[in-house]
Structure 1
Amino acid sequence: MISKSKRAVCSMAVALAAAAASIVGVSSGTAFAIDHVQCVGGENFLKIWSHLDGRQSVDCYANAGKTDFGGWWVDRISTGNNDLIYYDANGDSVKIERWHDITFPNRPPKVVAIQIL
């Protein structure tokens, strides 16, 4: 015959194992990926003005993650509510904190990838 204390310990162990399994299941199911989104006034997206081979572009991004930027020359970055790291063609990585608007009028960086933290 199993004593009441042993049953209570077993029940508690089973409950703890079930709670741990549900936490692991939820954590592994959550994924974040950077998204190229439509620029909308009033939103606090990452916004990047750039140029390459006579073409101009304005692009907005949301959500954490990293993506290729194709070696475009960046003229201006507005981080909105995002912390950003950009990776330039020289191998440098530059972190820019949220709520900053930076222009590069004389020597724009050639950016190969961007990452929202």
Structure 2
Amino acid sequence: MVLKPTRIVRSAAVALAAAASLTLTLPGNAFAIDHVECRGGENFLKIWSHSGGRDSVDCYANKGRIGFGGWWVDRISTGNNDLIYYDANGDSVRISRWTDITFPNRPPKVDSIEIL
């Protein structure tokens, strides 16, 4: 009877190790987009926006999707990122890397952004 608890513990440890190795080796979507500090010389996604009388400049790095809160976007510099923004009208717009675009007349109201 002493061996039975040891066998259960050993089986659990083997199952845990197998699950961990599969997690590390199988490809999957990593949604790790990060809001980062804007720094000169970096190739981050950079977005100039405004809402409710406030202006903001935000930078993002890494693949993934994040809410943007319905802010009006004045300018986007994609850096080395391909981007899709999802606007309040339900449209999605793809912008290629190394693009700097401004919206002087009709800025989009953006609900979320996705770095590809």
Give the TM-score band, short-chain normalised.
0.7 to 0.9
Kindly state the Cα deviation for residue 92 of structure 1 after the two structures are TM-superposed: 0.2
| Structure 2 stretches lacking a partner, 5+ long | 1-20
TM-score (norm 2): 0.77
Quick one: distance in 2 between partners of 1:31 and 1:92?
24
Which residue matches 2:101? Answer: 102
Identity within the alignment, % = 77
Structure 2 counterparts to residues 56-95 of structure 1, below 5 A: 56-95=55-94
Q: CA RMSD in A?
A: 2.0
Q: Paired residues, what number? A: 97
Deviation string 1:43-95 (CA, Å, 9 cap, x unpaired) is: 00000000000000000000000000000000000000000000000000000
4+ residue segments displaced more than 3 Å = 22-25, 28-32
* 1:113 maps onto 2:112 in alignment: yes
* One-letter code aligned to 1:53: G
Which residue matches 1:17? Answer: none
Structure 2 counterparts to residues 7-18 of structure 1, below 5 A: none
- Secondary structure of the 1:57 match is strand
Quick one: distance in 2 between partners of 1:69 and 1:30?
20
CA contact (8 A) 2:31 2:65 kept: no
After the TM superposition, which of the residue ranges 98-107 and 30-39 deviates more from structure 2? 30-39
- Higher CA-based Rg: 1
**Cα distance change, pair 86–29 in 1 and its aligned pair in 2 (3 A):** closer
Kindly state the Cα deviation for residue 23 of structure 1 after the two structures are TM-superposed: 6.7
Quick one: distance in 1 between partners of 2:89 and 2:82?
21
Which residue matches 1:50? Answer: 49
Structure 2 counterparts to residues 4-43 of structure 1, below 5 A: 25-27=24-26, 31-43=30-42
- Secondary structure of the 2:26 match is helix
Which residue matches 2:16? Answer: none
**Cα distance change, pair 29–114 in 1 and its aligned pair in 2 (3 A):** closer
Quick one: distance in 1 between partners of 2:81 and 2:59?
11
- Secondary structure of the 1:90 match is coil
